[in-house]
Amino acid sequence: MAYGTGGVAGMIRHRGDEYVVTMAGADAELGSYPTMEIAKSALHAHMTPGAEWPTFREH
């Protein structure tokens, strides 16, 4: 789970050899990425402009 200043921002799930990003409240996945670091960057890029780097916690 990714937490921003306003609460849950989204989540990253490991599926096979990819990492799938879903933003909080979204009905569809944002995309899949080859590494966790790229997935984290993608999630942050889709947060509100100027948002601080989220806190990531394993759920």
Q: Which tokens go with 38?
A: 């790229």
DSSP for 34-47, please give it.
Answer: SSHHHHHHHHHHTS
- The torsion of the CA quartet 15, 27, 2, 20, rounded to 10 degrees, works out to 20
Residue 15: what pLDDT?
97
Cβ 6 vs Cβ 54: under 8 Å: no
pTM score, two decimals? 0.91
**Please, what are the averages of pLDDT over each run of 10 residues along the chain (59 residues)?**
96 97 96 98 96 94
Q: CA 40, CA 9: separation in Å to the nearest integer?
A: 11
